[in-house]
Protein backbone atom coordinates (compact mmCIF):
# COMPACT_ATOMS: atom_id res chain seq x y z
CA UNK A 1 0.00 0.00 0.00
CA UNK A 2 1.14 3.50 -0.73
CA UNK A 3 0.44 6.29 1.66
CA UNK A 4 -1.00 9.40 0.14
CA UNK A 5 -1.13 12.92 1.36
CA UNK A 6 -4.17 14.64 0.00
CA UNK A 7 -5.00 18.26 -0.08
CA UNK A 8 -8.31 19.92 -0.60
CA UNK A 9 -8.81 23.26 -2.12
CA UNK A 10 -11.54 25.80 -1.81
CA UNK A 11 -13.42 27.55 -4.53
CA UNK A 12 -11.29 30.27 -6.04
CA UNK A 13 -13.30 33.38 -6.67
CA UNK A 14 -10.57 35.96 -7.09
CA UNK A 15 -9.99 37.28 -10.57
CA UNK A 16 -6.50 37.06 -11.98
CA UNK A 17 -5.76 40.74 -11.60
CA UNK A 18 -7.18 41.44 -8.17
CA UNK A 19 -4.98 42.73 -5.35
CA UNK A 20 -3.46 40.24 -2.94
CA UNK A 21 -6.38 38.96 -0.86
CA UNK A 22 -6.36 38.95 2.92
CA UNK A 23 -4.89 35.71 4.27
CA UNK A 24 -7.54 33.16 5.16
CA UNK A 25 -7.31 31.49 8.57
CA UNK A 26 -8.69 28.13 9.59
CA UNK A 27 -8.57 26.20 12.82
CA UNK A 28 -6.87 22.82 12.53
CA UNK A 29 -7.08 19.88 14.95
CA UNK A 30 -4.92 16.86 14.34
CA UNK A 31 -2.04 14.60 15.21
CA UNK A 32 1.60 15.03 14.23
CA UNK A 33 2.82 12.01 12.26
CA UNK A 34 6.24 13.34 11.37
CA UNK A 35 8.53 16.36 11.72
CA UNK A 36 11.03 17.61 9.17
CA UNK A 37 13.07 20.37 10.83
CA UNK A 38 15.19 21.11 7.74
CA UNK A 39 12.08 21.79 5.71
CA UNK A 40 10.25 23.46 8.65
CA UNK A 41 7.40 21.03 8.14
CA UNK A 42 5.07 18.87 10.12
CA UNK A 43 3.09 15.99 8.66
CA UNK A 44 -0.36 16.21 10.23
CA UNK A 45 -3.29 13.80 10.16
CA UNK A 46 -6.09 16.28 10.73
CA UNK A 47 -9.83 16.47 11.10
CA UNK A 48 -12.13 18.36 8.75
CA UNK A 49 -11.10 21.99 8.41
CA UNK A 50 -14.47 23.67 8.29
CA UNK A 51 -14.96 25.59 5.08
CA UNK A 52 -11.66 24.50 3.57
CA UNK A 53 -10.85 20.81 3.34
CA UNK A 54 -11.96 17.43 4.59
CA UNK A 55 -9.97 15.29 7.00
CA UNK A 56 -6.66 14.16 5.51
CA UNK A 57 -2.94 13.82 6.06
CA UNK A 58 -0.58 16.35 4.59
CA UNK A 59 2.64 18.23 5.30
CA UNK A 60 2.43 21.82 6.46
CA UNK A 61 5.09 24.47 6.78
CA UNK A 62 5.24 26.27 10.13
CA UNK A 63 5.57 30.02 10.48
CA UNK A 64 8.51 29.71 12.91
CA UNK A 65 10.88 26.71 13.19
CA UNK A 66 10.86 27.13 16.98
CA UNK A 67 7.28 25.85 16.80
CA UNK A 68 8.78 22.40 16.15
CA UNK A 69 10.92 22.43 19.31
CA UNK A 70 9.82 19.76 21.76
CA UNK A 71 7.17 18.33 19.43
CA UNK A 72 7.14 14.69 18.53
CA UNK A 73 5.17 12.29 16.38
CA UNK A 74 1.98 11.33 18.17
CA UNK A 75 1.40 14.81 19.61
CA UNK A 76 -2.18 15.99 19.34
CA UNK A 77 -2.26 19.61 18.28
CA UNK A 78 -4.40 22.56 17.46
CA UNK A 79 -3.08 25.26 15.15
CA UNK A 80 -4.17 28.02 12.82
CA UNK A 81 -3.77 27.26 9.13
CA UNK A 82 -2.98 30.53 7.36
CA UNK A 83 -3.52 30.50 3.60
CA UNK A 84 -1.90 33.43 1.81
CA UNK A 85 -1.69 34.09 -1.88
CA UNK A 86 1.65 32.33 -2.42
CA UNK A 87 2.05 30.20 0.68
CA UNK A 88 0.20 28.33 3.38
CA UNK A 89 1.53 27.56 6.84
CA UNK A 90 0.61 26.76 10.41
CA UNK A 91 0.89 29.26 13.22
CA UNK A 92 -0.16 29.33 16.87
CA UNK A 93 0.39 25.62 17.40
CA UNK A 94 -0.48 24.13 20.78
CA UNK A 95 -0.03 20.55 21.99
CA UNK A 96 -3.19 19.24 23.64
CA UNK A 97 -2.14 15.65 24.29
CA UNK A 98 -0.30 12.64 22.95
CA UNK A 99 -1.63 9.39 21.50
CA UNK A 100 -0.17 6.38 19.70
CA UNK A 101 -0.22 6.78 15.92
CA UNK A 102 -2.80 4.39 14.56
CA UNK A 103 -2.02 2.22 11.57
CA UNK A 104 -3.57 3.57 8.41
CA UNK A 105 -3.66 7.09 9.80
CA UNK A 106 -2.36 8.46 6.55
CA UNK A 107 -5.60 8.60 4.60
CA UNK A 108 -6.73 6.96 1.37
CA UNK A 109 -4.56 4.35 -0.27
CA UNK A 110 -3.82 2.98 -3.68
CA UNK A 111 -2.80 -0.64 -3.98
CA UNK A 112 0.48 -1.56 -5.61
CA UNK A 113 -1.45 -3.25 -8.41
CA UNK A 114 -2.70 0.18 -9.56
CA UNK A 115 0.76 1.63 -9.87
CA UNK A 116 3.01 1.73 -12.88
CA UNK A 117 6.41 0.32 -12.05
CA UNK A 118 9.69 1.84 -13.08
CA UNK A 119 10.60 0.53 -16.51
CA UNK A 120 6.97 -0.16 -17.48
CA UNK A 121 5.53 1.44 -20.61
CA UNK A 122 3.39 4.46 -19.75
CA UNK A 123 -0.12 4.07 -21.18
CA UNK A 124 -1.09 6.39 -23.99
CA UNK A 125 -3.96 8.38 -22.49
CA UNK A 126 -6.63 9.66 -24.91
CA UNK A 127 -5.67 13.28 -24.36
CA UNK A 128 -6.17 16.50 -26.20
CA UNK A 129 -3.74 19.34 -25.67
CA UNK A 130 -4.30 23.03 -25.00
CA UNK A 131 -4.84 23.67 -28.70
CA UNK A 132 -7.63 21.08 -28.82
CA UNK A 133 -5.56 18.68 -30.96
CA UNK A 134 -5.33 14.98 -30.18
CA UNK A 135 -2.30 14.50 -27.96
CA UNK A 136 -1.23 10.87 -27.64
CA UNK A 137 1.75 10.58 -25.30
CA UNK A 138 3.33 8.37 -27.94
CA UNK A 139 3.82 11.57 -29.94
CA UNK A 140 6.57 12.39 -27.41
CA UNK A 141 8.51 9.18 -28.06
CA UNK A 142 12.14 10.10 -28.52
CA UNK A 143 11.84 12.78 -25.84
CA UNK A 144 12.42 12.56 -22.12
CA UNK A 145 9.25 13.82 -20.46
CA UNK A 146 8.47 15.30 -17.06
CA UNK A 147 4.77 14.83 -16.41
CA UNK A 148 2.72 16.21 -13.54
CA UNK A 149 -0.92 16.65 -12.55
CA UNK A 150 -2.56 20.00 -11.79
CA UNK A 151 -5.84 21.78 -12.13
CA UNK A 152 -6.25 25.40 -13.03
CA UNK A 153 -8.56 26.46 -10.19
CA UNK A 154 -6.30 25.02 -7.46
CA UNK A 155 -5.94 27.81 -4.89
CA UNK A 156 -3.47 26.15 -2.53
CA UNK A 157 -0.18 27.90 -3.33
CA UNK A 158 2.00 24.94 -2.32
CA UNK A 159 0.22 22.52 -4.62
CA UNK A 160 -0.72 22.97 -8.28
CA UNK A 161 0.55 26.55 -8.51
CA UNK A 162 3.90 25.32 -7.14
CA UNK A 163 4.00 22.55 -9.75
CA UNK A 164 3.50 25.23 -12.42
CA UNK A 165 6.30 27.37 -10.99
CA UNK A 166 8.62 24.36 -10.81
CA UNK A 167 7.84 23.36 -14.39
CA UNK A 168 8.47 26.94 -15.52
CA UNK A 169 11.89 26.74 -13.84
CA UNK A 170 12.64 23.38 -15.48
CA UNK A 171 11.55 24.83 -18.82
CA UNK A 172 14.17 27.56 -18.44
CA UNK A 173 16.81 24.88 -17.76
CA UNK A 174 15.79 22.98 -20.88
CA UNK A 175 16.26 26.13 -22.88
CA UNK A 176 19.68 26.75 -21.33
CA UNK A 177 21.19 23.27 -21.55
CA UNK A 178 22.01 21.53 -24.82
CA UNK A 179 21.90 18.05 -23.31
CA UNK A 180 18.32 18.65 -22.13
CA UNK A 181 17.14 19.87 -25.52
CA UNK A 182 14.94 16.79 -26.10
CA UNK A 183 13.02 17.21 -22.82
CA UNK A 184 9.30 18.02 -22.92
CA UNK A 185 6.93 18.89 -20.08
CA UNK A 186 3.33 17.73 -19.72
CA UNK A 187 0.79 18.94 -17.16
CA UNK A 188 -2.35 16.79 -17.05
CA UNK A 189 -5.45 18.37 -15.53
CA UNK A 190 -7.28 16.68 -12.67
CA UNK A 191 -10.41 18.73 -13.41
CA UNK A 192 -11.10 17.91 -17.06
CA UNK A 193 -14.73 19.03 -16.88
CA UNK A 194 -13.65 22.59 -16.23
CA UNK A 195 -10.17 22.57 -17.77
CA UNK A 196 -11.07 22.57 -21.43
CA UNK A 197 -8.37 23.23 -24.04
CA UNK A 198 -9.31 26.92 -24.03
CA UNK A 199 -8.99 27.14 -20.24
CA UNK A 200 -5.68 25.29 -20.37
CA UNK A 201 -4.42 27.54 -23.16
CA UNK A 202 -5.02 30.63 -21.05
CA UNK A 203 -3.49 28.90 -18.04
CA UNK A 204 -0.42 27.84 -20.04
CA UNK A 205 0.10 31.40 -21.16
CA UNK A 206 -0.18 32.71 -17.62
CA UNK A 207 2.29 30.05 -16.43
CA UNK A 208 4.80 31.13 -19.08
CA UNK A 209 4.67 27.84 -20.97
CA UNK A 210 6.56 27.67 -24.24
CA UNK A 211 4.06 25.76 -26.45
CA UNK A 212 6.93 23.92 -28.12
CA UNK A 213 8.24 22.52 -24.82
CA UNK A 214 5.36 22.38 -22.34
CA UNK A 215 2.00 20.83 -23.10
CA UNK A 216 -1.21 20.80 -21.10
CA UNK A 217 -3.47 17.75 -21.46
CA UNK A 218 -7.14 17.13 -20.82
CA UNK A 219 -9.62 14.47 -21.88
CA UNK A 220 -12.64 12.59 -20.61
CA UNK A 221 -12.92 12.48 -16.86
CA UNK A 222 -12.73 8.67 -16.77
CA UNK A 223 -9.67 8.52 -19.00
CA UNK A 224 -7.81 11.25 -17.18
CA UNK A 225 -8.50 9.96 -13.69
CA UNK A 226 -7.68 6.35 -14.62
CA UNK A 227 -4.41 7.57 -16.11
CA UNK A 228 -3.63 9.61 -12.98
CA UNK A 229 -4.29 6.63 -10.74
CA UNK A 230 -1.53 4.66 -12.45
CA UNK A 231 0.91 7.22 -11.02
CA UNK A 232 -0.63 7.13 -7.54
CA UNK A 233 -2.78 10.21 -7.95
CA UNK A 234 -6.13 10.05 -6.20
CA UNK A 235 -8.82 12.67 -6.56
CA UNK A 236 -12.18 13.18 -5.00
CA UNK A 237 -14.67 15.98 -5.37
CA UNK A 238 -14.35 18.58 -2.65
CA UNK A 239 -17.24 19.90 -0.65
CA UNK A 240 -17.78 22.99 -2.76
CA UNK A 241 -18.24 23.42 -6.46
CA UNK A 242 -14.92 23.61 -8.27
CA UNK A 243 -12.92 21.89 -5.57
CA UNK A 244 -10.80 18.82 -6.29
CA UNK A 245 -9.16 17.00 -3.41
CA UNK A 246 -5.95 15.49 -4.69
CA UNK A 247 -2.37 14.52 -4.02
CA UNK A 248 0.67 15.24 -6.17
CA UNK A 249 2.85 13.04 -8.33
CA UNK A 250 5.47 14.08 -10.86
CA UNK A 251 6.85 11.44 -13.19
CA UNK A 252 9.82 11.18 -15.49
CA UNK A 253 9.25 9.16 -18.67
CA UNK A 254 12.26 8.10 -20.70
CA UNK A 255 12.73 8.53 -24.44
CA UNK A 256 11.31 5.04 -25.02
CA UNK A 257 8.06 5.92 -23.23
CA UNK A 258 8.86 3.97 -20.05
CA UNK A 259 8.38 5.21 -16.53
CA UNK A 260 11.77 6.24 -15.16
CA UNK A 261 10.87 7.68 -11.75
CA UNK A 262 8.08 9.30 -9.76
CA UNK A 263 8.24 12.00 -7.11
CA UNK A 264 5.51 12.39 -4.52
CA UNK A 265 4.18 15.58 -3.04
CA UNK A 266 5.75 19.00 -3.26
CA UNK A 267 9.03 18.41 -1.43
CA UNK A 268 11.27 18.51 -4.47
CA UNK A 269 13.02 21.30 -6.32
CA UNK A 270 13.39 22.01 -10.03
CA UNK A 271 17.05 20.93 -9.65
CA UNK A 272 15.86 17.55 -8.29
CA UNK A 273 13.66 17.09 -11.33
CA UNK A 274 16.46 18.06 -13.71
CA UNK A 275 18.64 15.46 -11.98
CA UNK A 276 15.88 12.86 -12.49
CA UNK A 277 15.71 13.81 -16.17
CA UNK A 278 19.47 13.43 -16.51
CA UNK A 279 19.18 9.94 -15.02
CA UNK A 280 16.48 8.87 -17.47
CA UNK A 281 17.69 7.28 -20.67
CA UNK A 282 17.99 9.95 -23.32
CA UNK A 283 17.17 9.48 -26.98
CA UNK A 284 19.91 7.82 -29.01
CA UNK A 285 21.89 10.33 -31.02
CU1 LIG B 1 -4.03 21.37 -6.55
C-alpha 266/C-alpha 283 separation (Å) is 28
- Return the SS3 of 164: helix
Do residues 54 and 76 both lie within one domain? yes
CA of 70 to the centre of ligand 1 (A): 32
CA of 122 to the centre of ligand 1 (A): 23
Residue 247 and residue 6 in contact, taking contact as beta carbons nearer than 8 Å: yes
C-alpha 94/C-alpha 71 separation (Å) is 10
pLDDT of residue 6: 41
C-alpha 143/C-alpha 182 separation (Å) is 5
Do residues 160 and 252 both lie within one domain? yes
Do residues 242 and 129 both lie within one domain? yes
Do residues 92 and 177 both lie within one domain? no
Do residues 230 and 122 both lie within one domain? yes
Angle of helix 270-279 relative to helix 160-176, nearest 10 degrees?
60
CA of 285 to the centre of ligand 1 (A): 37
CA of 156 to the centre of ligand 1 (A): 6
CA of 29 to the centre of ligand 1 (A): 22
CA of 157 to the centre of ligand 1 (A): 8
Q: How many helices (H) and strands (E) does the chain have?
A: 4, 15
CA of 85 to the centre of ligand 1 (A): 14
Integer angstrom CA distances of residue 48 from 110, 236, 239: 21, 15, 11
CA of 237 to the centre of ligand 1 (A): 12
CA of 100 to the centre of ligand 1 (A): 30
> What's the number of domains the chain is made of?
2
CA of 240 to the centre of ligand 1 (A): 14
DSSP 63: S
C-alpha 45/C-alpha 218 separation (Å) is 31
The pTM score is 0.68
CATH number, domain of 33, equals: 2.40.50.320
* Residue of 17, 58, 38 whose CA lies nearest to 245: 58
Do residues 154 and 275 both lie within one domain? yes
CA of 151 to the centre of ligand 1 (A): 6
Do residues 140 and 43 both lie within one domain? no
Q: How far is CA 137 from the centre of its chain?
A: 20
CA of 40 to the centre of ligand 1 (A): 21
pLDDT of residue 271: 96
CA of 245 to the centre of ligand 1 (A): 7
Cα dihedral value 156, 101, 262, 236, nearest 10? -50
C-alpha 70/C-alpha 42 separation (Å) is 13
Q: Which domain holds residue 73?
A: 19-98
Sequence-separated (6 or more) residues with CB below 8 Å from residue 259: 116, 117, 118, 119, 120, 121, 122, 251, 252, 253
Do residues 118 and 83 both lie within one domain? no
Do residues 202 and 74 both lie within one domain? no
Do residues 93 and 121 both lie within one domain? no
CA of 21 to the centre of ligand 1 (A): 19
The total of other beta-carbon atoms located within 10 Å of residue 89's CB is 21
CA of 246 to the centre of ligand 1 (A): 6
pLDDT of residue 191: 95
CA of 96 to the centre of ligand 1 (A): 30
Over its length of 285 residues, how does the chain's per-residue pLDDT go in tens digits? 333 434 333 333 233 344 556 888 889 999 888 888 887 888 888 887 876 776 777 778 899 999 999 998 889 999 999 887 667 889 999 999 888 876 554 444 456 677 899 999 999 878 999 999 999 999 999 999 999 999 999 878 889 999 999 999 999 999 999 999 999 999 999 999 999 999 999 999 999 999 999 999 999 999 999 999 899 887 877 666 777 878 889 999 999 999 999 998 888 899 999 999 999 988 886
Do residues 53 and 192 both lie within one domain? no
CA of 247 to the centre of ligand 1 (A): 7
DSSP 49: B
Do residues 89 and 127 both lie within one domain? no
CA of 103 to the centre of ligand 1 (A): 26
CA of 28 to the centre of ligand 1 (A): 19
Residue 207 and residue 105 in contact, taking contact as beta carbons nearer than 8 Å: no
User: Which residues fall inside 5 Å of ion ligand 1, going by CB?
Assistant: 154, 159-160
Is residue 267 assigned to a domain? yes
Is residue 59 assigned to a domain? yes
Amino acid sequence: MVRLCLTAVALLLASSCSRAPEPRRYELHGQILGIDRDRREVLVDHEDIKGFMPAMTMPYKVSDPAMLDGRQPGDLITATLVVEEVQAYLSAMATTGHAPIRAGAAGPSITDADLLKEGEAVPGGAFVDETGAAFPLASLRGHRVALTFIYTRCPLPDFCPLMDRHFAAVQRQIGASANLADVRLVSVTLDPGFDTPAVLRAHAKAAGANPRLWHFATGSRDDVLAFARRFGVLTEPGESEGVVVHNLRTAIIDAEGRLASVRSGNMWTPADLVADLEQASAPAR
